[in-house]
């Protein structure tokens, strides 16, 4: 029997309340900032479209699979306002969650080089749980009788994002509503029971670009994620950009995974990236787990009057 499905089944049967998994995680978070911080909207001074696909713990059935798509751009004559749209689809075992959000930001000039953006995210969350996908130990558990189909929950998030040409720092909470997902059984004894509670995820991201010479740049970056009921997640990465085209790097997720990253700037407006994670936990030593991989593609539309001197490294 699928090990992940067994775990999900046991949790549902033996507990009245469980915590929902944390927000989807990304190894290439430095290129997918809008998914965690709405204040990033419009910061790239172009119409920026990014798609990401992540397959986690390859070989283990029911393991997380995530797709994201976002588009954002500055708008208005002053271009101080940023507007974005994002979709995140996250599937694990019999559950599938889809987030659909609109992102809004307003940017303030804090100095000749620095800009501070304030952002807000608003949208909705759809939850599906298909208990028919489980290989059940029993068919008599009432909690497993009724699937959950497109259960809607509202979503509101906030963020701030400061950046110069070489440095960035962002703090955000992309979902401020701690939604409880109730079992939709008609059984009166279970009317107050529920399966999971969404917890607030807090993010801090930062990075700096060092110009080592005219052909080589070095960018260390980090992400901290805090959520109640789960350990602190710390991601650190180091990327080198050669001649504005080829990016090579390594990343480490504290007590979790070691990653290799590669990216190629195909053109000034098109970038392709790939990351592969090796688990450093006991899960990585199993014959069922072939690691995790992630693809990202970013396409940008610049104003015709603007000449792109070099692509942004963040």
Query: In the structure, what pLDDT confidence band is assigned to residue 273 with cuts at 50, 70 and 90?
Result: very high
**Residue 23 or 120, more confident:** 120
Going by C-alpha positions, the residue among 210, 211, 311, 309 that lies closest to residue 266 is 311
Give the length of the chain.
Answer: 314
Asked if pLDDT for residue 135 goes beyond 90, the answer is no
Query: In the structure, what pLDDT confidence band is assigned to residue 78 with cuts at 50, 70 and 90?
Result: confident
* pLDDT score at 72: 97
Query: In the structure, what pLDDT confidence band is assigned to residue 188 with cuts at 50, 70 and 90?
Result: very low
Residue reference for tokens 């298909």 = 130
Name, in order, each residue with C-beta under 8 angstroms of 192's C-beta and a sequence gap of 6 or more. Answer: none
Average pLDDT over residues 134-139: 58
Asked if pLDDT for residue 4 goes beyond 80, the answer is no
Q: Which domains are present in the chain?
A: 24-177+199-301 (2.40.160.40)
* pLDDT score at 19: 42
Average pLDDT over residues 221-246: 93
Asked if pLDDT for residue 131 goes beyond 90, the answer is no
Phi, psi of 254, rounded to the nearest 5 degrees:
-50, 125
Going by C-alpha positions, the residue among 128, 23, 5 that lies closest to residue 60 is 5
* pLDDT score at 224: 96
Global confidence as pTM: 0.84
Name, in order, each residue with C-beta under 8 angstroms of 64's C-beta and a sequence gap of 6 or more. Answer: 21, 24, 54, 56, 57, 90, 91, 92
Please calculate the CA angle 120-124-125 and round it to the nearest 5 degrees.
125
For residue range 24-71, what is the model confidence (pLDDT) as tens digits? Answer: 889 999 999 999 999 999 999 999 999 999 998 887 778 899 999 999
Contact 275, 261 (CB under 8 A): yes
Please calculate the CA angle 44-49-53 and round it to the nearest 5 degrees.
120
Least confident residue range of 129-143, 186-200, 217-231, 292-306: 186-200
């Amino acid at each position: 029997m699928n090990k992940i499905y067994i775990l999900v089944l046991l949790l549902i049967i033996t507990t009245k309340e469980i915590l929902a998994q944390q927000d989807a995680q990304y190894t290439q978070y430095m290129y997918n900032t809008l998914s965690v911080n709405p204040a990033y909207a419009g910061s790239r001074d172009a119409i920026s479209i990014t798609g990401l696909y992540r397959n986690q713990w390859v070989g283990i059935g029911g393991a997380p699979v995530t797709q994201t798509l976002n588009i954002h751009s500055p708008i208005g004559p002053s271009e101080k306002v940023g507007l974005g749209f994002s979709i995140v689809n996250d599937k694990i075992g019999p559950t599938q969650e889809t987030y659909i959000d609109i992102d809004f930001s307003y940017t303030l000039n804090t100095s000749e080089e620095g800009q501070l953006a304030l952002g807000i995210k608003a949208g909705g969350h759809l939850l599906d749980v298909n208990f028919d996908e489980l290989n059940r130990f029993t068919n008599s558990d009432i909690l497993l009788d009724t699937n959950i189909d497109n259960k809607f929950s509202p979503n509101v998030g906030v963020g701030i994002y400061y950046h110069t040409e070489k440095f960035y720092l962002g703090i955000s909470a992309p979902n401020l509503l701690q939604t409880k997902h109730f079992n939709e059984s008609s059984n009166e004894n279970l009317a107050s029971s529920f399966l999971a509670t969404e917890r607030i995820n807090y993010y801090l991201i930062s990075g700096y670009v060092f110009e080592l010479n005219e052909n080589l740049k070095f960018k260390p970056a980090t992400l901290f994620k805090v959520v109640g009921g789960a350990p602190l997640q710390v991601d650190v990465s180091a990327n080198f950009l050669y001649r504005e085209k080829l990016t090579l790097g390594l990343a480490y997720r504290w007590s979790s995974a070691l990653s290799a990253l590669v990216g190629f700037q195909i053109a000034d407006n098109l970038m392709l990236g790939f990351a592969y994670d090796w688990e450093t936990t006991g899960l990585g030593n199993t014959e069922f787990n072939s690691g995790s991989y992630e693809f990202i593609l970013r396409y940008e539309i610049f104003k015709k009057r603007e000449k792109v001197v070099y692509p942004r490294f963040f």
